Chains A and B, each alone.
Chain A
Amino acid sequence: MNPGEAVRFPKVRPRALFASRPVLTFLIVVAVWIGASFVKPGFGAFGHLRYLVELGAVVGLAAIGQTFVVIAGGIDLSVGAIITVSAVGAPLVALAFDESGAFAALITLAAATVIGVLNGLGVAFLRAHPMIMTLAMATFLQGLLILLAGGSAISAQSPLLEWLGSARPGGVPAGVLVWAIASVLSLLALHATPFGARVFALGANSLAATLSGVNVPATTVAVYAISGLTAGMTGLLLLGMNGQGYVGIGDPYLLSSIAAVVLGGTSILGGSGTYAGSIPGAVLLVTITGLITVVNASPGWRSILFGSLILALLLISGREARRR
């Protein structure tokens, strides 16, 4: 065996596999599911687990864009607002000739992408810190939403949204199908394209990336655009599953998307990570939320449990290497 071959095909080491964060997070999910089905008999039923994955699709879609942005060294705090905008905005752009609802969905996704592009332009050219830029965008969108919706819930009926929310081609919920396709595409983009390599380079060291010829502004705009697009998709999926959009519908998904990314082993400091970890991270989060609902606690306790469990999970798996 020549040395070149050994480099191309490193030996599979089981220990290294267990140390890998995506695998670790996946194992935690399996452990929680097994544990929960012993405690609560109905939990392990196929229908319930499928429902959990369906909910996971919502968080997982939002986490796609967040993963790109975080790996590129930023953070997107406008995810929740963009989700709300698309869930409330999609019914408003429904036109008479557009019977399937596809046109409205396209307009909504385009608008969400434009919001993401604006975030990216602000970060890249105004040099606004990502947290400020996206928080300001979220504030701005909040005002816009009240103008658009006037505070009331808006229900939507279109065949496309209905399909997204309730169809089960081959027993798989449509939302999970969309999530799976989007996951494969984003994993390919992140790990098998020059663009993905540039995203990692940007997050690891933006100055070095610039000097190496990476078009930093274009890459920055692209990652925020992806975040806007996936947040828009999340909004449409939520609208389909819920039947109506209202102001605040997207708020819980901000923390969830960031937590899914961090639980999946992506460094919040940027430069390392993978979407493969965010997938079990998202499922883990909705599992926790599901378990909390089972406990039937008051809103205060639910909120405390949610925050504490995320903190506890982070302590188990999400620690950054100490930098000293």
Chain B
Amino acid sequence: MNAIESASLRLYWPAQRQRNRGAGGLLIVVAAFLALYAYLFPGLLSVGGVAKFAQSWLPLAMVSMAQAILMLAGGVSLAIGAMVSLGAVIAATTMAGPLGVAGGAALVMIAGLGVGAACGVIVVRLGLPAIVVTLAASFIVGGAALLILPRPGGTIPAWLSDLLAGDKPVAAWLVIAVVVFWKLYLATPLGLSLYAAGENPDAAYRAGVPVDAARILAYAVSGLLATCAGLFVAAKTGSGDPVIGEAFTLNSIAAAVLGGVGFLGGKGAMRGALAGSLLLSVMINVMYFLGFPPVAHYIAQGLIIIGAVALPEFSARRRAL
């Protein structure tokens, strides 16, 4: 028993170190941007400032986690944005109705889990490429969102909007709650299998890891996170919009890649993806604050993503010389 424990400890820290590789530079950049933001906008360092900032960060953090889970499991999703829209319109059409907030929230979660699991089954069991399946799914899910709510509208109960997007830092607590849930998920057998199933599915399968189940569950959890992000977006704006999620697809991939999560599965860690989403979020806030036109956001975002991907490559090459 003791031998096993010491062996697992011997494996644990190197694995953690490997997952942290490259995250140091990112954290410095994030800290620099946060400092700049706090310098420009001293109000950030108050309860209200933290609350407002967490509200703008939370949806991006959730979709980045949704994307990172899939990338860790060796997949990818181009349907994240559509799922966010779906969550938003379901919340906006059900919560003010007879189902109430609890029923609406349950529906949002069921839709996320169900659609995610369906994508997972098609990708994992039927052997279709994830890119194409999720691209097709983005059309189906986006169409469903348009059917539920053809044009922006619907309502979210005012008290819920106040609770989630008011002056109290509820969103900040939610970020922490999501991270805690992620840690709990990683501690379950299927969560433990996630990295193995992504890094080397063949070896994991032969070692007795339930590869298919772990990957399908990853798709389901990813869907859940995306639709819950949609719920939050709807609560923040007070109504639903069938195309509000579109930008999240690219941003989720960008945040995960900024955070060092690799496309081939098993590489990187959730803390990296969270840091990546934090960087994007701070960056957008700083640009708004400096009065950049929206056009500049697209251009800057494209450049920063490429730069962030290229920098590690250059530093690795310099180290190799």
> Which residue from chain B places its CB closest to the CB of A314 in the assembled complex?
B128
A170 proximal to B (CB < 8 A): no
Asked if A319 contacts B139 (CB within 8 A), the reply is no
Asked if A311 contacts B201 (CB within 8 A), the reply is no
Rounded to whole angstroms, the CA-CA distance of A137 and B302 in the bound complex is 6
Candidate in B129, B147, B303 with the most chain A CB atoms within 10 angstroms = B129
Known pairs A128-B313, A144-B298, A255-B136. 10 more at Cβ < 8 A? Answer: A75-B131, A132-B257, A143-B297, A143-B299, A268-B129, A298-B146, A300-B145, A304-B139, A304-B143, A305-B143
In the bound complex, residues from chain A placing their C-beta under 8 Å from that of B202 are 323-324
What are some 12 contacts across the A-B interface (CB < 8 A)? A132-B257, A132-B305, A132-B306, A136-B254, A139-B301, A143-B299, A143-B302, A308-B140, A314-B136, A315-B128, A318-B132, A322-B127
A235 proximal to B (CB < 8 A): no
> Which residue from chain B places its CB closest to the CB of A309 in the assembled complex?
B136
A146 with B150: in contact, given A75-B131, A136-B305, A324-B202 (CB under 8 Å)?
A: no
Interface size class of B (residues with CB under 8 A): 35 or more
In the bound complex, residues from chain A placing their C-beta under 8 Å from that of B143 are 299-307
In the bound complex, residues from chain A placing their C-beta under 8 Å from that of B138 are 307
Asked if B296 contacts A143 (CB within 8 A), the reply is yes
Candidate in A133, A269, A300 with the most chain B CB atoms within 10 angstroms = A300
Asked if A126 contacts B313 (CB within 8 A), the reply is yes
In the bound complex, residues from chain A placing their C-beta under 8 Å from that of B136 are 255, 259, 307-308, 310-311, 314
Asked if B146 contacts A132 (CB within 8 A), the reply is no
Tell me the smallest distance from the CB of B272 to a CB of chain A, in Å: 15
Rounded to whole angstroms, the CA-CA distance of A9 and B190 in the bound complex is 53
Tell me the smallest distance from the CB of B275 to a CB of chain A, in Å: 17
Rounded to whole angstroms, the CA-CA distance of A323 and B254 in the bound complex is 28
> Which residue from chain B places its CB closest to the CB of A146 in the assembled complex?
B295
A135 with B139: in contact, given A258-B132, A319-B128 (CB under 8 Å)?
A: no
Which B residues, 249 to 276, have Cβ-Cβ distances below 8 Å to chain A?
250, 253-254, 257, 263
Which A residues, 123 to 162, have Cβ-Cβ distances below 8 Å to chain B?
126-129, 131-133, 135-144, 146-147
B126 proximal to A (CB < 8 A): yes
> Which residue from chain B places its CB closest to the CB of A259 in the assembled complex?
B132
A98 proximal to B (CB < 8 A): no
Rounded to whole angstroms, the CA-CA distance of A138 and B299 in the bound complex is 10
A126 with B129: in contact, given A132-B257, A303-B146 (CB under 8 Å)?
A: no
> When A and B form their complex, which 10 residue pairs have the shortest distance between CB atoms, in order from nearest?
A143-B298, A140-B302, A303-B143, A307-B139, A300-B146, A304-B143, A307-B140, A300-B147, A126-B310, A143-B299
Tell me the smallest distance from the CB of B211 to a CB of chain A, in Å: 9
Interface secondary structure of A, over-half rule: helix
Contact of A300 among B144, B205, B263 (CB under 8 A): B144
A19 proximal to B (CB < 8 A): no
Rounded to whole angstroms, the CA-CA distance of A75 and B78 in the bound complex is 13
Which A residues, 58 to 83, have Cβ-Cβ distances below 8 Å to chain B?
75
In the bound complex, residues from chain B placing their C-beta under 8 Å from that of A137 are 302
B50 proximal to A (CB < 8 A): no
Rounded to whole angstroms, the CA-CA distance of A315 and B147 in the bound complex is 25
Asked if A128 contacts B306 (CB within 8 A), the reply is yes
Rounded to whole angstroms, the CA-CA distance of A147 and B142 in the bound complex is 28
A129 with B263: in contact, given A75-B131, A143-B296 (CB under 8 Å)?
A: yes
In the bound complex, residues from chain B placing their C-beta under 8 Å from that of A308 are 136, 140
Rounded to whole angstroms, the CA-CA distance of A221 and B101 in the bound complex is 53
Tell me the smallest distance from the CB of B112 to a CB of chain A, in Å: 18
Rounded to whole angstroms, the CA-CA distance of A300 and B136 in the bound complex is 14
In the bound complex, residues from chain B placing their C-beta under 8 Å from that of A299 are 143, 146, 150
Contact of A131 among B76, B132, B140, B298 (CB under 8 A): B76
B177 proximal to A (CB < 8 A): no
In the bound complex, residues from chain B placing their C-beta under 8 Å from that of A268 are 129, 131-132
Asked if B306 contacts A319 (CB within 8 A), the reply is no
B36 proximal to A (CB < 8 A): no
Rounded to whole angstroms, the CA-CA distance of A154 and B144 in the bound complex is 32
Tell me the smallest distance from the CB of B122 to a CB of chain A, in Å: 7
Asked if A126 contacts B132 (CB within 8 A), the reply is no
Rounded to whole angstroms, the CA-CA distance of A128 and B302 in the bound complex is 13
In the bound complex, residues from chain B placing their C-beta under 8 Å from that of A99 are none
Which A residues, 229 to 284, have Cβ-Cβ distances below 8 Å to chain B?
255, 258-259, 262, 268-269
Rounded to whole angstroms, the CA-CA distance of A122 and B314 in the bound complex is 12
Asked if B127 contacts A304 (CB within 8 A), the reply is no
In the bound complex, residues from chain A placing their C-beta under 8 Å from that of B35 are none
A96 proximal to B (CB < 8 A): no
Contact of A135 among B126, B147, B250, B295 (CB under 8 A): B250
In the bound complex, residues from chain B placing their C-beta under 8 Å from that of A323 are 202
B186 proximal to A (CB < 8 A): no
Asked if A135 contacts B253 (CB within 8 A), the reply is yes
Rounded to whole angstroms, the CA-CA distance of A298 and B140 in the bound complex is 13
A181 proximal to B (CB < 8 A): no
B133 proximal to A (CB < 8 A): yes
Asked if B140 contacts A303 (CB within 8 A), the reply is yes
Tell me the smallest distance from the CB of A67 to a CB of chain B, in Å: 14
In the bound complex, residues from chain B placing their C-beta under 8 Å from that of A324 are 201-202, 205
A321 proximal to B (CB < 8 A): yes
Contact of B309 among A128, A142, A144 (CB under 8 A): A128
> Which residue from chain B places its CB closest to the CB of A147 in the assembled complex?
B295
